[in-house]
Chains A and B, each alone.
Chain A
Amino acid sequence: MASIREQFEIPGKMKTWAYALISVGVLSFAIGLFTKGMGTEEERAIFLGTVMYNTIFWTLVCNASMFFLCATTMAWAGWPAAFRRIPEAISTMVPIFGTITLAVLLYAVFSHNHHIYHWSVDSVVANDPILKGKAGFLNVKFFTIWSILAVALWSFLGYRMRQLSSMADEAALGGMTGAAFIKQNTVRAATFLVWFGLTVGSTIPWLWLMSLDAHWYSTMYSWYNFASTFVSGMALVALWLIYMKNKGYMEYATNEHLHDVAKFMFAFSVFWTYLWFSQYMLIWYSNQPEETVYFKHRVQGAYKGIFFLNLIINFICPLIILMKRSAKRNYTLVTFMAVLIIFGHWIDYYQQVMGSISKEHVTLGWLDFGILSFFVGVMIFGVSKALASKPLVPKHHPFLKESIIHHT
């Protein structure tokens, strides 16, 4: 134990990068606010939509790493113990990104901009039988309460998981036995998962994203979004794991652990495609106007290129590049694929949101990348801070030995 490096020190270069990315982000937000955010209702919608999909994407991606921890806890998987501080650190971003998301979403709902949330305008709903039928679920009051509750409970239940994990740093698990610790961990993980299922697994993507096309509906939608953010979350974990390994930390995490993380990236890329295709094919086959309206301008209109690029990046590339065992153990390839997957799903979120707000014109440009750099900067800053605030190895975690001798 004595020879391992337990304490992460944030390199100066990393801080510089984080600050630079955040400044670029803030600058582009300010320029965007003055050039677009103050213009017509349509321009305002584009500006707000750009901020919206970025913040929703990063909130859900960071939340996915807590889902990963809870799901593996419920499966009694021991192998993540050696590097579990990385997903834990990523999940500390949920309260921060969640607050930004809430601010943006509540502004969008209460400004009653019908280009974004068509259903939030009372006069529109009054004359629309479909929206009237949905009003029991799709109304401003429920949206507000449920969104706040979702972010608050993700943050709180995630905090409870991390708090318990910190006990594994102290001798004798804060007075508990190993079995009591695991039981407590299981209970807390289960609580998080139930809430995760009620939000990310169903209602939150409906409310936040699907309601952009207020008339359209798809039962695949939430799972599709979950798969999207989970695979990006695993890619983010892989990136941090490789970074820490390259800096000489995380001695207990070996190629075997990276292999398993990369397996998740590979498997859930295929799972994402399965949902993508199921949603597309059912709508294509039945060919009903109220359903095909979502795909009309994406497959045949301005978003055609992005729509199919999305499929190539998120399915063909992982399928071909990550299939081989040696590829999943190769730092360079996994890094490349992780960046590509995160970018691909970011583009996916882009077309999901902007494809509904700006149907005729693809708006992808400096503003999108500027806002993205803000979130990447905050993520790098926050995660490195969280990693530095704790020992990197949960020394007394009951599954640590199992993780060290892990073998695929």
Chain B
Amino acid sequence: MAKKKFVVGCFDTEDTLFPAVKKVRTAGYKIQDVYTPFAVHGLDHALGMRETSLHTAGFIYGITGTTTAVSCISWIFTKDWPLDIGGKPHFALPAWIPIMFELTVLFAAVGMVLTFCYICQIAPFVKKHHFHPRATDDLFVMVIECTDKTNTQEAEMFLQNAGAVETKTEIAEDGWWIGRYDKDEMPFDKNLTLA
């Protein structure tokens, strides 16, 4: 875990956000992430992020679920404990299909949720830094990651010119930590004095 310096710009609407993202990227700043109150269509493309592989993972989990169901039921009903149920054959495929389907869905769903949590580094009691509380309400918050050479004042000016209604510079924890917001001290400097 490392503390880093960030320049934060807050935008009112998507209409100003999209051109700003384009300008900031063209200017060569590295955008750490954009925090929005809701899923914004096309923002991932604008940020130049690659397509997610989550659905491929989901497919693999699903196949695993189907295989588990088939192998488990067929072993139980044909080898381990064959029962005569209504005179049906022991290998009664139509009757198994609902269970195969359910296990496929279960494995795919649970697997994808856990994978998603892992990728986004979210879990119970795991905390990450909020750059602006209103990112969960009505502000689109763009966070630029600074390097040693970044002039923060210049970056803030740049964001303001691009339409940001509020800008700030902070040093914050980049990764996650375990704790509780109401009890823990935030492991970042609230009142930063610029060097």
Chain A residues within CB distance 8 Å of chain B: 277, 280-281, 284-285, 287, 323, 325, 407
Chain B residues within CB distance 8 Å of chain A: 41-42, 51, 55, 59, 86-88, 94-95, 97-98
Question: Is the beta-carbon distance between B94 and A280 smaller than 8 angstroms?
Answer: yes
Question: Is the beta-carbon distance between A285 and B94 smaller than 8 angstroms?
Answer: yes
If A280-B94, A281-B97, A285-B94 are given as contacts, then 16 extra A-B residue pairs at C-beta distance below 8 Å, sorted by A number, are A277-B94, A277-B97, A281-B94, A281-B95, A281-B98, A284-B94, A285-B86, A285-B88, A285-B95, A287-B86, A287-B87, A323-B59, A325-B51, A325-B55, A407-B41, A407-B42
| Nearest chain B CB to A358 CB, angstrom units | 27
Nearest 7 A/B pairs, CB to CB: A281-B94, A284-B94, A407-B41, A407-B42, A277-B97, A285-B95, A280-B94
Q: Closest B-chain residue to A278, C-beta based?
A: B98
| Chain A interface, DSSP helix/strand/loop, else mixed | helix
A-B contact pairs, 19 of them (CB 8 A): A277-B94, A277-B97, A280-B94, A281-B94, A281-B95, A281-B97, A281-B98, A284-B94, A285-B86, A285-B88, A285-B94, A285-B95, A287-B86, A287-B87, A323-B59, A325-B51, A325-B55, A407-B41, A407-B42
**Contact partners of A407 in chain B: CB under 8 A:** 41-42
A-B contact count (CB 8 A): 19
A285 to B89, CA, bound (A): 11
Q: Closest A-chain residue to B86, C-beta based?
A: A287
**Contact partners of B88 in chain A: CB under 8 A:** 285
| Nearest chain A CB to B60 CB, angstrom units | 13
| Nearest chain B CB to A280 CB, angstrom units | 7
**Contact partners of A325 in chain B: CB under 8 A:** 51, 55
| Nearest chain A CB to B64 CB, angstrom units | 16
**Contact partners of B94 in chain A: CB under 8 A:** 277, 280-281, 284-285
**Contact partners of B42 in chain A: CB under 8 A:** 407
| Nearest chain A CB to B46 CB, angstrom units | 11
| Nearest chain A CB to B43 CB, angstrom units | 11
**Contact partners of A285 in chain B: CB under 8 A:** 86, 88, 94-95
| Nearest chain B CB to A105 CB, angstrom units | 34
A323 to B98, CA, bound (A): 21
A284 to B93, CA, bound (A): 11
| Nearest chain A CB to B70 CB, angstrom units | 16
A281 to B96, CA, bound (A): 10
A284 to B95, CA, bound (A): 9
A402 to B88, CA, bound (A): 55
**Contact partners of A323 in chain B: CB under 8 A:** 59
**Contact partners of A287 in chain B: CB under 8 A:** 86-87
A400 to B153, CA, bound (A): 43
**Contact partners of A280 in chain B: CB under 8 A:** 94
| Nearest chain A CB to B59 CB, angstrom units | 8
A352 to B195, CA, bound (A): 80
A69 to B59, CA, bound (A): 32
| Nearest chain B CB to A195 CB, angstrom units | 34
A284 to B88, CA, bound (A): 10
A287 to B88, CA, bound (A): 10
| Nearest chain B CB to A286 CB, angstrom units | 9
A280 to B98, CA, bound (A): 12
